[in-house]
Amino acid sequence: MRVDVVSIFPDYLAPLELSLVGKARQSGLLDLRVHDLRDWATDRHRTVDDTPFGGGAGMVMRPDVWGRALDDVIADTGSDADAGSDGEQAGVAGDVVGAPVRLVIPTPSGEVFTQRTAEAWAQDARLVVACGRYEGIDARVAERFRERGVVVSEVSIGDYVLNGGEVAALVVVEAVGRLLPGVVGNPESLVEESHGAAGLLEYPVYTKPPAWEGHEVPEVLLSGHHAKIARWRRDRALERTAARRPDLIEALGADALDAHDREVLRAAGWEPPAS
């Protein structure tokens, strides 16, 4: 997969050189390029924003600067400032140039980015993430790219307001990147996670030592009895989800719960919907 991130603070994306995402970049599983939006500004102050039409506080990012930047990044021509540097990251790039692009515009007014979104986007060949600042990006940018056949996804990473889209870009790259084949060493570890296929939060996890400062690891986990361990884990996942995210249990639907699940939920004080 190729991901381009456009920002006025490209250094903000430096953590993407670390850990699993950093390794995925080194091994060519993920071709990630970061661009400075100001390279597409045309005045000597490298201006990217202006006052909002209709009045009000703050500044809005100009559509003309974003339009030029995204045209070049999508077409993979780069800005003049990029010349000579993009080509250094060869690897998988050649496979995806010309592939359909999803333009991701992080915004608190977008649809919420979830694990389902990450799973869907992990199938894409190219993501281009446009990081807003100030009061956001002129609305015509999304409109123009949609009109030209680009899939535009305006997404929020949660119900709060950040100063800029860079943290959202980090979230998207981390969540999508770890789903790419080969990025997480043992793909099994993706199966039982929170927000996975079971629709529950993950059960509590433990490691050595079995006793620590008076806290014992639950006996069943030391038993080696796989069926009992699986049942214990599902019970704890149900209890935890009912306590912390009852909306997820509601979303499961009655058919996803068997009689034992219902007992566990009742004991946890949650009345399951009638089957």
Q: Would you tell me which residues interact with ligand SAM (CB under 6 A)?
A: 106-109, 131-133, 135-136, 156-158, 160-165, 168
Q: Which of 121, 126, 124, 136 is nearest to 66 (CA)?
A: 136
The backbone region for 9, taken as left when phi is positive above 0, alpha when psi lies in -120 to 50, beta otherwise, is beta
Least Å distance, CB 133 to ligand SAM, is 6
Asked if residues 157 and 167 have their Cβ atoms less than 8 Å apart, the reply is yes
Please provide residue 6's backbone torsions phi and psi, each rounded to the nearest 5 degrees.
Answer: -115, 130
For ligand SAM, the closer CB: 76 or 135: 135
For ligand SAM, the closer CB: 15 or 253: 15
For ligand SAM, the closer CB: 169 or 264: 169
The beta-carbon contacts of 111-116 under 8 Å, at least 24 apart in sequence, are 111/153, 111/154, 111/155, 111/156, 112/155, 112/156, 112/157, 112/158, 112/159, 113/155, 113/156, 113/157, 113/168, 113/171, 113/172, 113/175, 114/195, 115/175, 115/195, 115/196
Asked if residues 40 and 195 have their Cβ atoms less than 8 Å apart, the reply is no
Least Å distance, CB 49 to ligand SAM, is 11
For ligand SAM, the closer CB: 128 or 265: 128
Tallying the residues shown for the chain, one arrives at 275
For ligand SAM, the closer CB: 73 or 265: 73
Least Å distance, CB 41 to ligand SAM, is 18
- Cα 109 to Cα 165: distance, rounded to the nearest angstrom: 12
For ligand SAM, the closer CB: 26 or 163: 163
Least Å distance, CB 265 to ligand SAM, is 31
Least Å distance, CB 53 to ligand SAM, is 14
Least Å distance, CB 166 to ligand SAM, is 8
For ligand SAM, the closer CB: 53 or 160: 160
Identify each DSSP E strand in the chain by its residue range. Answer: 2-7, 31-36, 49-50, 60-61, 101-112, 126-130, 151-156, 211-212, 215-216
Least Å distance, CB 20 to ligand SAM, is 22
Residue nearest ligand SAM, Cβ-based:
132
